[in-house]
Amino acid sequence: MRRSAEERRRLIVAAVGELGGHVRLSELAGRLGIPAVTVRRDVVALADAGRIVRSHGYVSLGRAAPEGPRRADGAAGRTVGLLVPSVGSYFDEVIDGVRTAAASAGARLVLGIAPYGSDDDRAQAGQLVDSGAQGLLLAPGLLPGQAPEACGWLDSLPVPAVLVERRSPSFDGPGSLLDSVGSDHRHGVLGALRHFASLGHERVLLAARSDSWTAEEVRAGYAESTRLLGMEPLPVLDTLGPRGAGSDPARLAGRIAEAAAAGVRAVLVHNDQDAIQLPPLLRALGLTVPDDIALIAYDDVFAALAAPPLTAVDPPKRAVGEAAFALLLRRLAGESDLPVHRTLLLPALRVRTSCGG
């Protein structure tokens, strides 16, 4: 007998509850014996009505949904602390991912901020624990190759912790046995350079910051990717001014123009805040994007708003936040046989018009 849409949707809500309140859409379709396309359409309608929450292929019972069986992971009522170096930039989407996952689980989220260079990570993490956090999601101001003593505190945390968009700066040093979830920035750079190569570019210039974990990973990814693709590696342009004085887009545009005069026609710029300022500055120097310079931004917060819209590497920041929260919940649930996780999620390349082709 053919079910009505409302009957299907009641079954979906009930099944999500029976499966623990958080389930893959594909698993839900298989359980109910309903085509995935139909389930997906019903899930959209239920989410719009506030009866469930959907996110990245998963369906969860939100606060507005009818009460179902208690989640097996016991997340409801827990308090989780999240430490980030800044808000209003890269980490906003990470925070949103954690916040969405916490709300779906009925957990309380407490935010702490330790700005880059403040050496305040340990103190802020301690304050989160003092405020009641039973587990921590940490994005401290680490840099690859940093002295181990700078992050020794990671091995003395009193509660379970997961590193977010970070990992221990040394192979077997402090924090190396903590779980970590992050974006695979090196693979993101590889995707950008492969796109340039598909358009016929044999030399790609990298312009990058040098003051963050992501920046160092982008630089390392450039060195690895040029070697893998057989491209000529070029000296990296530092987008920061002398002595870390902040980015200087006019100076950067001039350096790119010099490279263009030497035959370089493709540039990868970290980050998109710097990249979005370049097209008008290059135009003033007689170079247009994409006719004279193909341009890809690393990060996709503002890239689509540029003129022309910039092709961009888009790290899966929201998904990183959700995955890190889910992993921390497993630690809090006391899964004693759970191995240490080092999870890397692949960025996507958002192709727009700044590379031509």
| Average pLDDT of the segment spanning 254-279 | 97
5-60: CATH number = 1.10.10.10
Pairing of strands 79-84, 294-298: unpaired
The domain 185-315 is placed in CATH, from the list 3.40.50.300, 3.40.50.2300, 3.10.180.10, 1.10.3720.10, at 3.40.50.2300
Task: Give tens-digit pLDDT for 112-129.
Answer: 999 877 789 999 999 999
Q: Could you tell me which CATH class the domain 79-183+317-346 is placed in?
A: alpha beta
Task: Give tens-digit pLDDT for 136-180.
Answer: 999 998 776 667 777 889 999 999 999 999 988 777 778 899 999
Please state, in angstroms and as integers, the Cα–Cα distance from residue 217 to each residue in 117, 173, 183, 184, 214, following that order.
18, 19, 10, 9, 5
For the chain, where do the domains classified as CATH 3.40.50.2300 start and end?
Answer: 79-183+317-346, 185-315
Instruction: Spell out the alpha helix ranges (H) of the chain.
Output: 5-18, 25-32, 36-48, 91-105, 121-130, 185-198, 213-229, 249-261, 272-275, 278-284, 317-332
Q: Compute the 3-state secondary structure of the chain and give helix, strand, coil in percent, each to the nearest 5.
A: 40, 20, 40
| Average pLDDT of the segment spanning 273-297 | 98
Identify the pLDDT of residue 199. Answer: 98
Closest CA relative to residue 20, chosen from 69, 67, 65, 64? 69
For the chain, where do the domains classified as CATH 1.10.10.10 start and end?
Answer: 5-60
Residue with tokens 């057989």: 230
The residues that bridge with 335 in the sheet, in sequence order, are none
**From edge to edge, which strands make up the β-sheet containing 161-164?**
108-113, 79-84, 135-138, 161-164, 179-183, 342-345
Task: Give tens-digit pLDDT for 71-110.
Answer: 445 567 899 999 999 887 789 999 999 999 999 999 999 9
